[in-house]
């Protein structure tokens, strides 16, 4: 058992999943033609425990993942929006493990730096101008990160697989009883994964409320990922690549966006899995600057 | 707006670099030091020599060279010198003790019978795998010789999780870590009986535990204490 002097440990192979917790945005509303939303932000997670395949918490060596990313939405037409997410700098770390008895380093820590897995999506507005805005989208996940790096091949800035996510969002705006502008959005998606990963069903929703003459937006978000268990269990993979499969989770996240003067704004948020399997049990954080092209 | 961009880039760099340094986790890997007779006999043939061997394991389960003191409870039955070389003097029973020079000393004992033939302790050790994590691990273990081949056998009731990448099986004297352990190999069977042939460099009484450990991510899954 690890001592209480420092937290125990975590595993990078779990971390990538958590990257998705804060990424989706836009909901059922495509951008208008020529308009867009661009965000430069830092996202990170550091964890010393994880949910096991039984959904219970176990310790692991402390691992961190840090992504500096650009997220962008741009209206190609009044209905078609191009969405891109590029973690142009991704750093994965794993701590040293030192014997509290002898003081000797048992396992040296390690780190890798690279680009992370990027994704691009096309979103199409089905019901422009309607009370409920519905928008299907197709997202392609590009495995340009490192799926098995570091001295022990246990560090990842990507999952090494090309995935295709088909998703439908539906959202609506409304005023609550206090006349506060609000919106709600729900989505359902199917994530087709390759390289032995199990496909996934994704569900989620968010509620946002706008304050201070709509300059401040608070968003409460929840996401659910359910594995279809049609891939290869991680332990049965014979290659040198190490990855976790059949990840599932229920996450909850909070995000605050504040529109500064003009088109600029700042954003900060956190999210974490409140239940899960084979995923980090630690909150992830993000902070950045966004630009609204309108 | 240049200042916003500069500020954000600066924040990103700071937030990426400062907390992303490689930190240190401390592992409580203490095990009780001890000495172990590694070739215990049950019976020694009268009028013959038998060379006892023992090893001392420190507080992290690593074998260390140290001074050992050998003694016999009845030197009329069996005598033993400072190197562990014994001589079966007469029929009877006695206890051989090996001790370190520490205060208090670490000791190990073996009750032996002087008889007509030399019989080594049954060349078999057994145990039961138990999970020390939330990952499944169970089953009975037998470590024994098949001819001259030392074999680790997992019984029909063996089962472990196949959801951990890089799960390895080890022999160790410190079940808290795979550091200093003998790596048998990656786990490729997750249910049912199977076995591992061990090299000549590994002896039956060299290790106290079988360890299941996710090596790439330092997650201990479970262990089995070998008896005797």
Condensed to tens digits (0 to 9), the pLDDT of residues B191-202 reads 999 999 999 999
Evaluate whether the domain defined by B34-120 bears CATH number 3.30.70.20.
no
Give the domain ranges of chain B. Answer: 34-120, 124-225
Do B24 and A109 make contact, defined as CB atoms within 8 angstroms?
yes
Collect all residues of chain B within an 8 Å Cβ-Cβ radius of residue A101. 28-30, 59-60
Condensed to tens digits (0 to 9), the pLDDT of residues A100-151 reads 999 999 999 999 999 999 999 999 999 988 999 999 999 999 999 998 889 8
Looking at the DSSP assignment, which residues form a beta bridge with residue A204? A187, A223
Distance from CA of A261 to the nearest CA of B (A): 10
Inter-residue contact B113 to B88 (CB < 8 Å)? no
Condensed to tens digits (0 to 9), the pLDDT of residues A51-105 reads 998 999 999 999 999 999 999 999 999 999 999 999 999 999 999 999 999 999 9
pTM: 0.84
Query: Under CATH, to which class is A12-293 assigned?
Result: mainly beta
Distance from CA of B192 to the nearest CA of A (A): 15
* The 3-state secondary structure of chain B, one letter per residue: CHHHHHHHHHHHHHHHHCCCCCCEEEECCCCCCEEEECCCEEEEECCCEEECCEEEECCCCCEECCCEEEEECCCCCEEECCCCEEEECCCEEEEEEEEECCCCCCEEEEEEEEECCCEECCCEEEEEEEECCCCCEEEEEEEEEECCEEEEEECCCCEECCCCCCEEEEEECCCCCCCCCEEEEECCCCECCEEEECCCCCCCCCCCEEEEEECCCCEEEEEEECEC
Collect all residues of chain B within an 8 Å Cβ-Cβ radius of residue A242. 165-166, 216-217
Do A58 and B28 make contact, defined as CB atoms within 8 angstroms?
no
In eight-state DSSP terms, residue A20 is G
- What would the two tokens of residue B62 be? 């690593």
ipTM: 0.82
Collect all residues of chain B within an 8 Å Cβ-Cβ radius of residue A262. 1
Using CB atoms, pick whichever of A106, A233, A242 lies closest to residue B163. Answer: A233
Q: How far is residue A219's CA from residue A206's CA, in Å, rounded to a whole number?
A: 7
Give the domain ranges of chain A. Answer: 12-293
Q: How far is residue A167's CA from residue A251's CA, in Å, rounded to a whole number?
A: 18
Sheet holding B54-57, edge to edge: B34-37, B54-57, B63-64
Nearest 10 degrees: Cα torsion B42, B45, B50, B55: 0
Do A2 and B21 make contact, defined as CB atoms within 8 angstroms?
no
Condensed to tens digits (0 to 9), the pLDDT of residues A188-205 reads 999 999 988 999 999 999
Q: Are strands B194-197 and B182-186 parallel, antiparallel or unpaired?
A: unpaired
């Amino acid at each position: 058992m690890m001592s209480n002097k420092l937290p125990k440990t975590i595993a990078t192979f779990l971390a990538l999943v958590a990257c998705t917790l804060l990424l989706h945005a836009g909901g059922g509303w495509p951008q208008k033609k020529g308009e867009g939303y661009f965000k430069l932000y830092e996202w990170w997670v550091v964890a010393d425990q994880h949910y096991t395949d039984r959904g219970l918490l176990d310790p692991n060596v402390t691992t961190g993942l840090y992504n500096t990313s650009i997220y962008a939405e741009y209206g190609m037409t009044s209905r078609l929006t191009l969405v891109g997410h590029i973690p142009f700098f991704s750093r994965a770390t794993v701590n040293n493990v030192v014997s509290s008895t002898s003081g000797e380093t048992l396992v040296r820590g390690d780190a890798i730096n690279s680009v992370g897995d990027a994704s691009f999506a096309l979103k199409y507005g089905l019901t422009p101008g309607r009370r409920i805005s519905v928008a299907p989208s197709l997202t392609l996940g590009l495995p340009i990160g490192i799926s098995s790096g570091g001295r022990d091949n246990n560090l990842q800035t990507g999952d090494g697989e090309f995935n295709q996510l088909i998703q439908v969002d539906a959202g609506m705006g409304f005023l609550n009883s206090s006349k506060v502008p609000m919106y709600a959005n729900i989505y359902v998606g199917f994530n087709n994964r390759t390289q032995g990963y199990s496909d996934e069903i994704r569900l989620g929703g968010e509620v946002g409320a706008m304050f201070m003459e709509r300059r401040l937006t608070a968003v409460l978000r929840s996401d659910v990922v359910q594995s279809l268990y049609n891939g290869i269990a991680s332990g049965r993979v014979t290659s040198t690549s190490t990855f976790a499969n059949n990840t599932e989770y229920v996450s909850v996240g909070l995000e605050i966006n504040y529109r500064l003067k003009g088109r600029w704004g700042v954003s900060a948020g956190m999210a974490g899995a409140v239940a899960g399997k084979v995923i980090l049990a630690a909150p992830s954080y993000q902070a950045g600057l966004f630009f609204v092209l309108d | 707006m240049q200042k916003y961009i500069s500020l954000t880039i600066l924040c990103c760099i700071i937030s990426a670099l400062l907390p992303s340094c490689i930190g240190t986790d401390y592992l409580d890997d203490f095990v009780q030091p001890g000495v172990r007779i590694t070739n215990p006999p049950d019976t020694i043939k009268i009028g013959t020599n038998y060379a006892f061997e023992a090893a001392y394991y420190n507080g992290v389960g690593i074998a260390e060279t140290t001074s050992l003191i050998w003694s016999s409870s009845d030197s009329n039955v069996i005598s033993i010198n400072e190197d562990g070389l014994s001589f079966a003097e007469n029929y009877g029973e006695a206890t051989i003790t090996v001790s370190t020079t520490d205060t208090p000393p670490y000791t190990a004992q073996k009750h032996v019978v002087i008889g007509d033939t030399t019989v080594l302790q049954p060349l078999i050790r057994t145990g039961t795998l138990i999970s020390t994590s939330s990952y499944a691990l169970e089953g009975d273990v037998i470590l024994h010789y098949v001819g001259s081949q030392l074999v680790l056998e997992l019984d029909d009731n063996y089962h472990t999780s196949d959801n951990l990448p890089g799960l390895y099986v080890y022999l160790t004297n410190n079940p808290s870590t795979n550091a200093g352990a003998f790596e048998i190999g990656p786990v490729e069977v997750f249910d049912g009986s199977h076995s591992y042939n061990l090299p000549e460099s590994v002896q039956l009484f060299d290790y106290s535990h079988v360890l299941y450990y996710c090596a790439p991510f330092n997650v201990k899954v479970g262990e089995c204490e070998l008896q005797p």
